[in-house]
Structures are given as C-alpha cells and as structure tokens.
Chain A
Amino acid sequence: MAEALLEVRNLSRRFAAVDALKAVNFCVTAGEVHALIGPNGAGKTTFIHHVSGALQPDSGSVHFAGREVTGLAMHQRVTAGMARSYQITNLFPGLSLLDNVALAVQGRRDAGSSFRFWKPVRNEQGMFDEALGFLEQVGLEKKSGNTAGNLAHGEQRALELAMALATKPKMLLLDEPMAGAGPEESARMVELIEHLARHVTILLVEHDMTAVFRLADRVSVLVNGSLICTGTPDAVRADPAVRRAYLGDTA
C-alpha cells in the first residue's frame, strides 16, 4: 500500500442549519488519480474548500504530505505542494500566457523571494524558460505570447493546468476541469490529465462520468455531506448504495 499523501480525518462543517460535511474520512494515496463524485449539493465544493484551505472545519483535521495542515492558509498549502485549478476559469486575462505561468513559477519557494524591488523580471530568462516548459506540457507553447483572455475556453483550462503544474505540486486538485467544455475539448482535457497523472497525484472533482471512469484509479462518492463509498471505478459502479443515491436505480 502506497503512503497517504492527503488524509482527511472526521471532517465536519455546519452552515447555519445545514450539515454540509458530516465526519468525512478521506484519503488520497501518492501516485493515484482519485475522483470525487456526487450529486449537486452533495458538498463537493465545500469539501474542496476545506482541503485547499479556503474554509476552516468545525472539527476534524486535514493532513498533507506527512503533516497537519488544518490551520494553514491557502497559500501555505500551495507552498506545501497542493496546487488547484478552479471550477470557473481563473487566470490573469490581461497577461500573456507566458506571464501567467511565469507568475506561478515566481511564486514557488525555490524561485527565491519576490520582495525584490529593483531587478527587472524580464532579465530572469531562467524563469521564462521554465514557464515555457510548462506551457509545452499542456501543448500551448506556440501561443505563449498571446493574451490569456483571448484563448478558447478549453485552452484557458489547459493554461490553468500549466499554472498549477508550475507550482511543482505533489498533488493537483482539479475542480471540474471539464466544466463548460464541449465534447472535443473534454476529450483533449482527459488526454492531458492522463498524461499528467504519470507524474503527479491528482484529486479530481468531476461531473463527467465518462471522464471519471476513464481517469480514476479510485472513486469516492459524496452524498448529503457523507462519504458513502470509496473503491475502484468498477466497485463503485456496482455498489447498490451508490446506484440508489446517485446514478439512479436504472443506471
């Protein structure tokens, strides 16, 4: 059994009268693609916010790469090796693709301090070379000079992946990477994630079942704030509780 990279223990969160998360135990092992699925309103986004550090739990803890990160802010978790992409495209639309990724490279601890007030960034060739390398990984190197806001939707999602990769993460947290994509774009994104999965652990939150069952090594199902099942895609597909709660009896 590979070691646990991300471990969530007894995580609970209440919003007013709603139990958004009920004592969730969850674990992503190093090297796997772990998909989190669940019907709308199941608490997936809330869960992701607790993992990434945007929200703090009422009780329970989050452990990442061998240490507890429950009290850490989002940027500290990123530095610890947890990169994320957003459900809604979230980048710097006015900047070139290269500048977008260069910002991600610059933010890394091993890239040195950003409290530098004098030396022009454009002289830091190494940073831009590295950024170009990440654009290559997602197939956008030819458009490196384009303005990010002018890219097609699917390309923007790919650019976000390049930015996440540029933080050199131990784990990629992908929040609905296929959201809003057409069938062709989705197919390309699946290929891209498959390719990335060889180098990095991935926690994937996704609605697109074709993509989930093709990509995931393991699948966890969240329903009404509780994790009802974790297992291989086939096991999850066969699980009666999952069929009832999520896929529908006839699925």
Chain B
Amino acid sequence: MAFYRPAPYQKPVAIVLMLALLTLPSALSALGQEFYIGFATRVLIFALAASSLNLVLGFGGMFSLGHAAFFGAGAYVAAICMSNGISDGLLAFPLAMLVAGLLALLVGAISLRTRGVYFIMITLAFAQMAYYLFVSARAWGGDDGLPLVGRMSVAGLSLASDSALFYAALACLALSIIFLGRLADARFGRVIQAIRENETRMEALGYPVFRYRLACFALGGALAGLAGALLANLTGLASPNLLQWMQSGTLLVMVIIGGVGYLYGGVVGAVVLLMLEEVLAGFTLHWHIGLGLLLLGIVLFAPKGVAALFGKSHG
C-alpha cells in the first residue's frame, strides 16, 4: 500500500455534505421529525469515535480491541464534570480528551511492546479491566452508570436543545476530519503509515518506532474521549457498557465497513451501520441477521470498505 491520497472529488463532496448537514436540523423540524435530530447527532458522534479508531487501526496499523475504553472514559469525564458543577464544555471536552489520551498513553505504553494477536488480546484485557473498574465504582453509579443532570454549555451557548448539540457534534467531527486529513499528509502521518507497512525498515532508517506508534495510539484515544463526552451529553448517561468490548467491536465493524485507512472510512461506516440498525430494527427484532449478511457482502465484494468503492485512495 502507498500513502493515503484523497480522491480528487472528495473535498467538494465533503463540503456539499457539510452544507447539507448544516440545514438538517431546521429541515427535520420543518418536517416535524425532531426525533431524528438526536439520531443524526448519534451518527456524528459514532462517526468521530470510528474515525479515531481508524487513525489507530487504518493509519497506524494497530489492531486495538480496546478502543471503547477511551470512548467510555471520555463519557465518564463529562459526567463527573457535570456532577461536580463543571458544565462548561470548553473545560470538560478538553479534559475528557486529556484523560482519555493519558489512559491510552498508559495502555499503549504496555500493549505496544507486543505484536499481532497478543496486542489484540492485551488491549481487550485493558478495556475489560476499565469496564469492571467502572462497574464496581459505587461513587460513579456502578452498574447503573452516572447520569448527567442536563447538558453542558459551550462558551455560554447551551447544548440543551437537540440542534445545538447536533451542531457541536458536527463541529467536532468536521474539525477532527480536517485534522486527520492534514495529519495523513504531514510528516507524522507518513511516518505512521510507513511503520504500518514495514516496521523494521523504519527502525533501520533511525525512527524510534515505538514512540510514533504510542503517540498515534494516544491521539486516537483522545479523539475517542471527545466522542464519549459528546455521547454522554446526548444520552444523559455515562454507562459502563460504553467501555465494554462489544462497543470496541462495534467501532471496529464500522471502520471495516467504511474502509480501513480511508479518511472517511469511520464516517461512512458509522452512517451505514447505524442507519441499517435503525431501518432493519423497524422491520424485525432479528436485524443482526441483515447486518451479518451486509458484513459478509462487504468482505466478499468490497474488502477495502465502502469508502474504497468511491475512488482509489491508496495509490
């Protein structure tokens, strides 16, 4: 594989979609479908979480099965902030990123000494440890999770209305995607992609491989933390289930459906999976069967993911 290169029409399409999304809340309100503003926000938040995993998995080549730990940690930071009277998002969101990033730094510092299936297992183990930690933390609601009393505000603007939170999530996602797109082209992005391709060679060119991997892993954790903090605002609850390995699995499935190593892979995957869940769940309780068939189809016919179907991103 080569370095990531965006398809030429990618930017204009993204800008048009962005403009369309800006009008979405008012369009849905006009149609009397306000319920779907919340759903759309959920999609945006999971798009951000999946994109953060795509940084780690797609660009960094690290198959982490514990990414939800950082997602969940971000949610808990938001909830704990709220219960301690900190309702300013400008403080709570960066704090969620910081805590999740530091947690990822710690987990990565140990896990990244292993490779292959051991890495998968050890990241899974750490995430499950974090899960049980929160389940047994009485002060933070234990099993039931920690509810948020109301929503945060950002620079005086309250996120209490569904459309305000929608725009906050949209801004976070857009900024993250811009950042990730720049990163892929910058020195750091080239280094982590080259490490994904040939670790030994990079070591032999004088690169401290471990340090770059760890930085990438921590950065992915921090972005997941931001997504978690947003989700806690949306659902009004930081639940231990957010840290569970099932959640890590869901994020992985999103990235694989969308396209591993494609800038919009996480976004496409989150949209496809959540929409499918929404639509299929309306028809049958056994919607997982449809999901399974879709996954099978993607692996067989579009093994690089849906984003890869629209133009070549790997040169």
Contact = CB atoms under 8 A, between A and B. Distances in A.
A108 B156 CA distance: 47
Interface string B180-205: 00110111111100100110111111
Of listed B179, B204, B208, B212, residue having the most chain A CB within 10 A: B204
A117 B206 contact: no
A74 to B, nearest CB: 5
Interface in B68-114: none
A154 to B, nearest CB: 19
A183 B205 CA distance: 29
A230 B144 CA distance: 74
Given A75-B203, A107-B205, A92 B194 contact: yes
A106 B200 CA distance: 16
Given A75-B206, A91-B198, A104-B205, A117 B186 contact: yes
Nearest to A120: B185
A121 B3 CA distance: 11
Nearest to B208: A75
B211 to A, nearest CB: 9
Interface string A106-127: 1111000111111111100000
Given A103-B190, A115-B188, A120-B186, A94 B206 contact: no
Contact of A118 (B3, B182, B190): B182
B300 interface: no
Contact of B203 (A74, A83, A115): A74
A117 B179 contact: yes
Nearest to A114: B187
Given A90-B201, A91-B198, A92-B197, A117 B191 contact: no
A101 B279 CA distance: 50
19 contacts: A73-B208, A75-B209, A86-B204, A90-B204, A91-B198, A94-B197, A94-B315, A96-B2, A103-B191, A107-B205, A114-B188, A117-B183, A117-B186, A121-B185, A121-B186, A121-B190, A122-B185, A147-B2, A167-B206
Interface of A: 52, 73-76, 78-79, 83-84, 86, 90-92, 94-96, 99, 103-104, 106-109, 113-122, 147, 163, 167
Given A75-B205, A95-B197, 4 more contacts: A75-B207, A94-B1, A116-B187, A121-B190
Question: What 4 pairs across the A-B complex have the smallest Cβ distances?
Answer: A78-B206, A107-B205, A116-B187, A120-B185
